[in-house]
Chain A
Amino acid sequence: MMSAAKETKVFMDQNLQFYLRTKRFIFFIILVALITAVIYGLIAGGVVVAPTTAEGFDTFYFTFITDLVIILGAFLGGDAMATDFSLKTGSFVLSQPVKRVSILLGRYLGALIIGVAIVTLYYVLGALGMLYLYKGVPVQVGESYLLSLVFVASAIALGFLFSSMFKNGSTAIVTAIILMLLVFSIVTGVLDVTNIEPWFILTYGGQVVTDILVVPYGAHKTVLGAGRISVTTYTPYVWEGLVIMVGYLVISLVVSIIIYNRREI
């Protein structure tokens, strides 16, 4: 029998090959290139006035990072495990002398490598633009990049949670997108009105990726209006955002492993 580390490596390689062969990696590269091209095109074409400082530019450029991470989480995590059931490879793979936790973690690492590569590309393209336009890159961009790596790790883990629950990969992807893009936004909006801090929402924690680009860092609690019609907007502390993201990462992976271990075919 192989060691757990070797087993994990085999499935990591297999998942990396899957993303590369199915052109999903290329799709994300094209998506990042398109976002970047549109942003620079808007500035070059005079449609958007170029921010006067690099700090102003980075908050504009990285507006899309949250949505990009969510899409990465859904598409890289959503069908990673469910594919085995829809493609009927599961009855063969799961009857091999390999621990199921190694299969799941190996595939997670494969997805994470792709996710990190795409996020890194997005930041590199942004940094190159700032170097060209402003001759420098604010230190906050580096901090935002590090936080985005934690965010992408937790978003992919959440995608894996859905993948371990569903038999159909497409269902898992769609459910992950609906939850992270729609449900989380709606719940956060409702909580704003009810003055409750949405500390249990992943995308609220992930806000720190863009919040940290704003100098000075925003106030934790902002109340708009007064009395019965006041709306309270929360900005997570950086430590708080980290705790939320790491919490989602750990809980999603642990629950995924438990579900996958109990899964019958």
Chain B
Amino acid sequence: MEISAINLTKNFGAERGVTDLNFKFTKPGLVGYLGPNGAGKTTTLKLFSNLLFPTSGNAIVNGIDVRESPAKALSNISALVESPEPYPHQTASEFLEFVGRIRGMNPGDTKKRITELADELHLESLAKKTGKMSKGNKQRVMLAATFLPDSDILLLDEPTGGLDPAEAKDVRDVLKEMKKDKLIIMSSHLLYEVTDVADDIIFINGGKILLIDTVENVSSKFGGKNNTQGLEDTYIKLIREGQL
């Protein structure tokens, strides 16, 4: 598994989204993608999921340029970007089966996987129309849809947004299990969440990557402090001063 950005740049007219992003991850694990609002986190994830097209540079997944062969590149990716919602006229079960069909999954495997995910994510009634569900329940259905196929790479944009603390913990538990054999890139505002699940970390601001390192290294620079405090100190220093 491999995901890499090569001089990846996206401009929105005169406005800059992200500029000259360069990174490469090749092993299972979870990469926390941190930065303030408008830093370029969602833009980056959209470039890797073919929702935005690069102005220049390349978004590469398993050696395939996303822009050149989107369907092929995306076949190994599950992305949850910008809080999408399921189709309101479908039940949770129907929506998940629809996703299973899109991903070319066997109907029997899909049903089995839906049952597992319903248990892991404590999904409310699968027979309920998603249009009548609360925001948190819709979010859990979308997470189940994202986790449904056995993709090598997951791109998650603030996946616990809209969930209560207990639901968010369920998701983190699932991610901890999944990162053992998958590469997950997760954007978040919540430093304790990143500390809890991430192995590596990217700090981004103003569309530029400020730092890529392991959570352990970043935290150890603030010796004696717990991981969350270390990350918070790093975050504030990087975002406010632009350097460590």
Contacts and interface: CB of A to CB of B under 8 A. Distances in A.
Interface stretch (A44-52, A95-103, A119-127, A240-248): A95-103
| Most interface-central of A6, A22, A97, A262 (chain B CB within 10 A) | A97
A92 B53 contact: no
B84 A96 contact: no
A91 B75 contact: no
Contacts of B74: 95-97
Contacts of B101: 10
B88 interface: yes
Nearest to B76: A97
Contact of B79 (A1, A10, A95, A98): A95
B72 A97 contact: yes
A2 interface: yes
Contact of B53 (A7, A21, A98, A264): A264
B89 A21 contact: yes
Instruction: List the 5 shortest-distance A-B pairs measured between CB atoms, nearest first.
Output: A95-B49, A21-B89, A92-B84, A97-B75, A97-B74
B80 A2 contact: no
Interface string A1-31: 1100011001000100110011000000000
Given A87-B88, A89-B86, A95 B72 contact: no
B144 to A, nearest CB: 12
B72 A10 contact: no
A138 interface: no
B87 A265 contact: no
Given A1-B104, A88-B84, A94 B89 contact: no
A interface bracket (residues with beta carbon within 8 Å of B): 20 to 34
Interface in B33-89: 46, 49-53, 70-75, 77, 79-89
Nearest to B49: A95
A132 B46 CA distance: 61
Interface residues of B, number: 34
A189 interface: no
B89 A89 contact: no
Nearest to B86: A89
A92 B145 contact: yes
Contacts of B102: 2, 7, 10, 93, 96-98
Given A1-B71, A87-B88, A95-B51, 7 more contacts: A2-B102, A10-B98, A14-B98, A17-B90, A89-B87, A92-B81, A96-B103
Nearest to B98: A14
Interface of A: 1-2, 6-7, 10, 14, 17-18, 21-22, 87-99, 262, 264-265
A134 B101 CA distance: 50
A46 to B, nearest CB: 44
A97 B79 CA distance: 11
B142 interface: yes
Contact of B85 (A17, A89, A98, A99): A89
Contact of B51 (A6, A22, A89, A265): A265
A191 B18 CA distance: 51
A91 B79 CA distance: 9
B155 to A, nearest CB: 8
Nearest to B85: A88
B51 to A, nearest CB: 5
Interface string B84-115: 11111110001000110111100000000000
B83 A88 contact: yes
A90 B52 CA distance: 12
B77 A95 contact: yes
Interface string B136-157: 0000001001000000000000
